[in-house]
Amino acid sequence: MKALNAVKKGFYADSVALMRIARELGKEGVEASLMIGTPSNKALLKDSGLLAREGEGARPDDLIIAVRGKNAAKALQRAEELLSSGAPSPSSLSSELENANLALISVPGEFAAAEARKALERGLHVMMFSDNVPLKDEVALKKLAVKKGLLLMGPDCGTALIAGAPLAFANAVPRGDIGIVSASGTGLQEVSSLLARMGKGVSHGIGVGGRDLSKEVGGLMTLAALDMLEKDPATRRIIVISKPPAASVTKTILSKVKRLKKPVTLCLLGASGKNFKRTLEEAAGFKPKRHPGAKAKGAIRGLFCGGTLCAEAEIILKEHGVRGYRLIDLGDDEYTRGRPHPMIEPELRNEHIAKALKDKSVGVILLDVVIGYGAHADPAGLLVDVLKKGRKLVIASVTGTEDDPQVYSKQVRKLERSGVIVAESNAQAARIAAKAVMR
């Protein structure tokens, strides 16, 4: 079926908003994608059969609305209505920053560095939700931020909690005296949610971006965030979350931590070293209740929305000596090219769950359910619908709190009523799965 495109010249809208519109159009029986007209995005649209002649001529500052299906013409009109119904989005920061102290950048990676620099030059902290920002630009921006005493969170920073304000994919957690520095969005969400469920709160949750602790970036923003939290009177304890940094950066971080007066908990997932916490639940100081065991024959298939939660589960399975498992991070670029992140649109995972339910070699399905601001309104409900189609041992955890829009306890109850074993943390879910297949 032939695709139809409409191009809005010089138009910008937040990428999450565009994904939500595409999902809304999908409910009306069409395949849809809304993308800025960069060469890489046009290549994605072409590969998926959604690029038409009008879209081919789009410029990088244009928006392409691409649809395909029986009601394609009506879908284009509906997309225009949805775009116009929201508040207009600026293409530049210049008129938007008069009374702000933090700028959230969510433009295509090709333009993100320039907008971030404008914000830093104006003396604003910056959260860069944008990804695909060149490494050299990240280094330059972070050096500028350090020079000005500002935060440059990101690029590809999906979660932050600043002075009680949740930004992007974050959870409703109480204010408290624990500061978090995290190179992982879902890692920050898991730890802050576990703290909240223990009655503890977060002063600030500072995301630094997944590349910050690389050799090239050198932990510039992690070090700056540690300095800020050390000086912050509301912070009494600090937690650092990351996958293993470059060796040279690890030494720098350890040296910095030794000089701080406030206690610091280091959770560098997969790293070995004295006093390193091995899991996110350990970093939070969370001790889940004992869970009744379960047994299953077959391999573990893990289908995750959160990359760090996936990595944590793999570490635990390896520690238990489990073999033959397969864990998939469905938020990876391989699975999200031209599609919404599974935290926004969990139907992406349902396709994989349906296959796992039919796979005779699979005995256990291991899942994470991440709720909070920006996430799907009812991910547990969508899971329950697809799990009815098969009979496997399903083990899950829910990352979130009672104050989240989806409500933690309601999501847990929906899963448990469908026969899912719900663990109190992602780490506990992985341990239950490991024990279930151990002979």
Nearest-angstrom CA–CA distance, 193 and 406: 13
Helix axes 379-387, 408-417, angle to 10 degrees: 0
pLDDT digits (tens, 9 = 90+) for 300-328: 999 999 999 999 999 999 999 999 999 99
Nearest-angstrom CA–CA distance, 370 and 93: 31
User: Do 46 and 58 form a contact (C-beta atoms < 8 A)?
Assistant: no
Three-state secondary-structure class, residue 23 = helix
Angle at 183 between CA 178 and CA 188, to 5 degrees: 45
Nearest-angstrom CA–CA distance, 155 and 290: 39
Residue 193 covered by a domain: yes
Residue 325 shares a structural domain with residue 233: no
pLDDT band at 94 (very low <50, low <70, confident <90, very high): very low
| 87 pLDDT above the threshold of 60 | no
Residue 360 covered by a domain: yes
Q: What are phi and psi of 282, to 5 degrees?
A: -65, -40
What pLDDT sits at residue 88?
Answer: 44
Residue 303 shares a structural domain with residue 424: yes
Q: Which of 86-90, 225-229, 432-436 has the lowest mean pLDDT?
A: 86-90
**What is the overall mean pLDDT for the chain?**
91
Residue 186 shares a structural domain with residue 306: no
What pLDDT sits at residue 90?
Answer: 43
Residue 401 shares a structural domain with residue 275: no
Q: How many domains does the chain have?
A: 3
Three-state secondary-structure class, residue 162 = strand
The whole-number average pLDDT for the span 42-68 is 90
Residue 358 shares a structural domain with residue 429: yes
What type of residue is 181?
V
Of 207, 196, 199, 219, nearest to 167 by C-alpha is 207
What type of residue is 107?
V
pLDDT band at 86 (very low <50, low <70, confident <90, very high): low
Nearest-angstrom CA–CA distance, 216 and 212: 8
Residue 128 shares a structural domain with residue 270: yes
Residue 160 shares a structural domain with residue 229: yes
CA dihedral 274, 258, 425, 235 (to 10 degrees): 160
* Structure token pair of residue 231: 């000086």
Nearest-angstrom CA–CA distance, 395 and 172: 24
Residue 291 covered by a domain: no
pLDDT digits (tens, 9 = 90+) for 107-166: 878 789 999 999 999 999 999 998 889 999 999 999 999 999 999 999 999 999 999 899
Residue 364 shares a structural domain with residue 315: yes
Question: Is the C-alpha dihedral spanning 37, 39, 44, 45 positive or negative?
Answer: positive
Q: Which of 78-82, 339-343, 391-395 has the lowest mean pLDDT?
A: 339-343
Sheet containing 63-68, strands listed edge to edge, beginning at the edge strand earlier in sequence: 3-8, 63-68, 31-36
What pLDDT sits at residue 338?
Answer: 62
Residue 96 covered by a domain: no
Q: Of 256, 284, 312, which closes a domain? A: 284
Residue 269 shares a structural domain with residue 324: no
Nearest-angstrom CA–CA distance, 41 and 131: 13
Residue 226 shares a structural domain with residue 331: no
| 190 pLDDT above the threshold of 80 | yes
Of 55, 133, 119, nearest to 90 by C-alpha is 119
- DSSP category for residue 289: P
How many Cβ atoms are within 10 Å of 354's Cβ, its own excluded?
A: 14
Alpha helices in 34-71 (DSSP H): 39-47, 53-56
Greater pLDDT, 271 or 124: 124
Residue 292 covered by a domain: no
What pLDDT sits at residue 36?
Answer: 85
Residue 354 covered by a domain: yes
How many Cβ atoms are within 10 Å of 27's Cβ, its own excluded?
A: 8
CATH number of the domain enclosing 130: 3.40.50.261
Nearest-angstrom CA–CA distance, 257 and 252: 9
User: Do 189 and 171 form a contact (C-beta atoms < 8 A)?
Assistant: yes
Residue 192 shares a structural domain with residue 264: yes
Alpha helices in 149-273 (DSSP H): 185-197, 220-231, 247-259
What pLDDT sits at residue 93?
Answer: 41
Residue 305 covered by a domain: yes
Of 368, 298, 370, nearest to 328 by C-alpha is 368
pLDDT digits (tens, 9 = 90+) for 347-396: 889 999 999 999 999 999 999 999 999 899 999 999 998 998 888 999 99
Q: Of 85, 117, 142, which closes a domain? A: 85
Residue 107 shares a structural domain with residue 255: yes
Range of the domain at 280: 102-284
What pLDDT sits at residue 439?
Answer: 67
Q: Of 36, 56, 85, which closes a domain? A: 85
Q: Under 8 Å CB-to-CB from 315, ≥6 apart: which residues?
A: 269, 270, 278, 279
The whole-number average pLDDT for the span 259-269 is 96
User: Do 433 and 395 form a contact (C-beta atoms < 8 A)?
Assistant: yes
User: Do 80 and 21 form a contact (C-beta atoms < 8 A)?
Assistant: no
What percentage of the chain has pLDDT greater than the value 70? Answer: 95
pLDDT band at 76 (very low <50, low <70, confident <90, very high): very high
What pLDDT sits at residue 337?
Answer: 66
Count Cβ atoms within 10 A of the Cβ of residue 45 and give its class: 0-12 exposed, 13-18 middle, 19 or more buried.
buried
Nearest-angstrom CA–CA distance, 8 and 194: 44
pLDDT band at 35 (very low <50, low <70, confident <90, very high): confident
Residue 322 covered by a domain: yes
